Each structure stands twice: as structure tokens, then as C-alpha cells.
Amino acid sequence: MATPTVSARSADEELRDVQETSCCIVGGGPAGAMLSLLLARRGIPVTLLEMHKDFDREFRGDTIHPSTLEILDQIGLADKLHEIPHTKISGPTIKFADGDLRPFDLSRLKTRFPYILLVAQVRFLEFITREAAKYPSFRLVMQANVTQLLKENGAVRGVRYLAPDGAHEIRTPLTVGADGRFSLLRRLAGFEPVKTSPPMDVLWFRLPKLPGEPEIVGGALGGIGGGRIFILLERNDYWQAALVFRKGQYQQLHSAGVQAIRKSIAEIEPRFAPHAESLTDWHQITLLSVESSRCPLWHKPGLLLIGDAAHVMSPVGGVGINYAIQDSVVATNVLSGRLKSGRVSDADLAEVQRQREWPTRVVQSAQSFLQKRVIAGALNTAQAGNAPWQLRMFTKIPIVRDIPPRLIAFGPRRVRLRDV
Ligand SMILES: Cc1cc2nc3c(=O)[nH]c(=O)nc-3n(C[C@H](O)[C@H](O)[C@H](O)COP(=O)(O)OP(=O)(O)OC[C@H]3O[C@@H](n4cnc5c(N)ncnc54)[C@H](O)[C@@H]3O)c2cc1C
């Protein structure tokens, strides 16, 4: 198929135009943006539809893991990404009653990038889509709110979207739903994710950097107390902070006011009590309602779900962005040749799910274990307890201590781009 073209103006008054492309990707998050870039650089006509007017939205995590950095390195973009303001973390130091513990340390991993790169997600998405725009087969439409799936003989054959100037349609042999955890495409396709309910929710906020800051080993720290977990990630000119609390307590926390958040921080990490004074309003705080889910089926003829639309990862280990990107790499490996020939079968789409479902299950199980054995315990006690023996054991035995960092950095299966 040639580059996307405007083929006709519909007789329908509301419909502004109908366009054609080889692949229409709905959602300009990490999964959709990355898949667009990878397909476009292979000369495949691809249209990316994003409902917002820019990428600068609520905080959704800024973690770029070694796996993603290796993939960007394969296509010559890793060094360029490092030119964007960033910090690096190799693993948190967590304060337990029986002493500090580093549950994972990426610095020992055998990779060119033994760290998590923290880059503002907005800058990352701008970077990826700017690179994609260098290929003539890429088209990005912002403020394109997809509202319908177009179907023909039981197969999805594109989407209808609303833009400020009216309705448009895109006709395509493959529609990719990369529209996130509240995916409309998943709902329109009739897929129901199976959900588990992790025991916690998270408040995310920034704290200012003050003169004479303490040095944080590994770039991140965690503390426990009063039924909360406080996490800090080092950024260039501020601290990215999170307060983890028991699911179901948000209303109670909210009515206690921001001063209750300041008090929690001061109790768990007195060194950061002065920083917490900057928290004066709930608008400074983003709630992450923690979810973990997986769709039993990620595809039907003409439609594939990837990223959070297919599986929402718990924030334990911060792997959501990385997993979304790994889905897009596998989709590129499996589907590029098919997209070029214009024949993508349901079996091809099933192959993408087959390759990605197992790693997703493995990591969700590991997250669930940690949530039950470590996090739930910490959230149910007033005082910081001892570190669970399993955690201490993992960090002491040389053969096993690299399992958690490897899982966090790459997942159970290292994903590489084929035919670069
Ligand atoms: C507060 C918070 C903190 C997080 N912290 C981390 C972290 O530290 N590390 C980490 O790895 N993960 C983190 N996550 C999870 C991470 O954000 C997701 O796993 C990741 O963004 C998934 O990428 P995605 O591309 O699948 O979906 P998303 O990033 O959700 O992108 C989906 C896109 O689709 C667009 N869209 C939705 N519906 C439509 C429509 N109808 N038409 C057109 N466009 C549409 C949306 O606007 C959005 O841009 C966090 C999430 C939250 C909410």
C-alpha cells in the first residue's frame, strides 16, 4: 500500500474525509508512539491518532528501562535520548527496622545501560514522534478522539475519530489499540480484562530540591511507617515522590488534608520534612489508582491491543512503560513483513499475544507476590518492621541476587528488534 492518502470525501455531511493507511494506531502513549516509529522506519504507512492536543499531561511515570534503551540503541537513538535532561537510578535503598536494604541493583547488569533513565514522559514522547516524523510514511493526528471501530464481514477495518473540524475515518487492514488502561477499543471489541486488586494506591507529587541535599545511594530511597511507604526518586531539579497507602483509604486521606501527607513524610523521613512544607494543595498531587489486569484475548481480525490496553501492570518495579514498549517491538518483529504485503491474519496477531503474554504473566505474578508478602505487611503496621527474609536472601546470594534486577530491566525474556 502506498503512503496514506485522502481517498474520498463522504456524502455523509458530518464526515470530513476517509483516509487509507496500512496501520492505524490509536493512542500516542509509549506503546503507540514507539510502534509508529518502528513501523515508519520500515517504510510502512502508519497513522497515529492521539486524542489530546499535546503530550504534556498528568504525570504517568518517567522510567525508561535498560530494555528500552537497548532497543533505542539498536536503531541509533539511545545516545540522542541521553541528550534530553535526565537522571539515572540503579535501585532504591529501603529503610527497614533491621537496617537498609537494596532490593535490586541494576548497576551489576551486563548491558551498556545498567540503570533506569528518568526522562519526563512528555519529552520522551515528543522525541519518539519527532523521530518518526522523519519518515514520510508516518502521520500523526493530534486531537483525534477515536469513537468507533469500522467493521466489515466481522473484521475491524479501521476507525472513526472526531477532530475539532468534525468526523474522519481511517480505513486500514490493521488497527492497533494502544489507548491505555481505560481502552475504548478494548471495550468496543467486547474484550473484558481479568482484574486483580493490588492492596495499595499511590499518590505522586514533586518535592523541591533544597541546599545541602543528602546523597541518595542508587538515586532512589524508600521508607516505611504509619501504614505508608514513602518513595523518592532523584531528578535534576526536584524530587519525584510517591506515598503508597492501603487501597480504600483515599477519601480518608483526602479529608485529613495535605497536612496529613506532610506529617507522614516527616514521620517516615524526617530529613524531608522541610521539603514537604511545599505541599499545600491537592492539585500538586496525582492519584494512581493501582490496578493489575490482563485481557484473555488481545486480538480479533483486524485489531490488536498492546500496552496498558492489553495488560495493566502494577507499579511495583515501574515496568508499565517498558512492557508497553516491548509489546510494540514484538508487534514490529511479527507484523512488519505482513503489513508490507497487506495481509495480516488473525494468526499473526495471535503470535504477538503468544510472545508477550507469558512475560506479562510472570512479572504480574512476581508483583503479586511482593504485594502480598512485603507491601501489604508494610501498609498494615504502624512501625517499620524487619525486611522479609526472602528479600534479604535474594540480595545476598550471588546467583539469585541478579534475578530481580534482570526481571525489572528486561522482563523474563529479553526483547530485541529483528532485522534492524
Ligand atoms: C500516576 C501514574 C504513574 C505511573 N508511573 C509509572 C512509572 O513510574 N513507570 C512505569 O513504567 N509506568 C508507570 N505508570 C504506568 C504507565 O504510565 C503505563 O504503563 C504506560 O503509560 C502504558 O503505555 P500505553 O502506551 O500502553 O498507554 P498510555 O500511556 O496510557 O497511552 C494511551 C494513550 O492513548 C490515548 N487515548 C486514549 N483513548 C483514546 C481515544 N479514544 N482516541 C485517541 N487517543 C486515545 C491517551 O490520551 C494516551 O495518550 C504510571 C501510571 C500512572 C497513572
Determine how β-strand 174-177 pairs with β-strand 303-305. parallel
Q: Which cell numbers in the block locate residue 53?
A: 492536543
Residue-wise burial string across 230-260, b where 16 or more C-beta atoms lie within 10 A, e elsewhere:
bbbbbbeeebbbbbbbbeeeeeebeeeebeb
Residue nearest to atom 6 of ligand 1 (CA): 61
State pLDDT tens for residues 265-274: 999 999 999 9
CB of residue 241 inside a 6 A radius of ligand 1: no
Q: Which residue of 179, 203, 291, 407 sits with most ligand 1 atoms within 8 Å of its CB, as the best mutation to test the pocket?
A: 179
Angstrom CA distances, 326 to 119, 121, 261, stand at 18, 17, 35
CB of residue 285 inside a 6 A radius of ligand 1: no
Q: Has residue 4 got a pLDDT over 60?
A: no
User: How high is the mean pLDDT of the chain?
Assistant: 92
State pLDDT tens for residues 48-87: 999 999 999 878 899 999 999 999 999 999 999 999 999 9
- Burial (CB count <10 Å: 0-12, 13-18, 19+), residue 43: middle
- Residue 82 is which amino acid? H
CB of residue 59 inside a 6 A radius of ligand 1: yes
Q: What is the SS3 assignment for 355?
A: helix
Query: Across residues 115-120, what is the average pLDDT?
Result: 96
- Residue 106 is which amino acid? L
Output the pLDDT for position 75. Answer: 98
Task: Round to whole Å and give the CA distance between 90 and 121.
Answer: 19
Task: Round to whole Å and give the CA distance between 98 and 197.
Answer: 30
Q: What is the DSSP string of 47-90?
A: EEEESSSSS--S----EE-HHHHHHHHHTT-HHHHTTSS-EEE-
Residues 305 and 185: beta-carbon distance below 8 Å: yes
DSSP 419: -
pLDDT tier at 258 (50, 70, 90 boundaries)? very high
Output the pLDDT for position 339. Answer: 97
Output the pLDDT for position 6. Answer: 41
What region, left, alpha or beta, does residue 128 occupy, with left being phi > 0 and alpha being psi -120 to 50 degrees?
A: alpha
Residue nearest to atom 52 of ligand 1 (CA): 60
Q: How far is the CA of 60 from the centre of ligand 1 (A)?
A: 6
Q: What is the DSSP string of 1-22?
A: --S-EEEE--SSTTEEEEEE-S
Q: Has residue 19 got a pLDDT over 50?
A: yes
Task: Round to whole Å and give the CA distance between 56 and 37.
Answer: 19
